[in-house]
Amino acid sequence: MACASPAYVGATHWFLFVAVTSFISTLIWCAVYFLSLREVLKVPINWILTELLNTSIKAVLYMIAFIAQLSAWTAYRTSSSNIAAGIFGIFNTIAYAAGAYFLYIEWKSTNTQ
């Protein structure tokens, strides 16, 4: 987030939107796990499937965002921090995709009938 701000072009606005919303939703999921809210709340939610969908959507949005960020800033010569933000977007995409994969494996193992 710090590498891409302030946003000077439209692609960076999108990249920062994806980065900030992903950061906030990841913090919320961390709070859910650290405070054991899954066990405390007795709501009929498939938590693993919900987290799988959330993580998968974040991976796709990050992929779109880093492509837009890198394509918008590669033409500029003085944009090293914005290109670094795009590279970090690639790493975040890989991390969220790996998380989605592991959540898929866990979801499939709990839904064997």
Task: Break the chain into its structural domains and give their ranges.
Answer: 10-110
**Dihedral sign, CA of 17, 84, 70, 97?**
negative
What pLDDT is recorded for position 90? 95
pLDDT value, residue 110: 87
DSSP-assigned states of every residue in 4-44 = TPSP-SHHHHHHHHHHHHHHHHHHHHHHHHHTTHHHH----
Confidence of residue 113 (pLDDT cuts 50, 70, 90): low
Predicted confidence band at 51 (pLDDT cuts at 50, 70, 90)? very high
pLDDT tens profile 83-101: 888 899 999 999 999 999 9
| Mean confidence (pLDDT) of the chain | 89
Stated pTM of the model: 0.87
- Mean pLDDT comparison of 6-20, 28-42, 59-73, highest-scoring range: 59-73
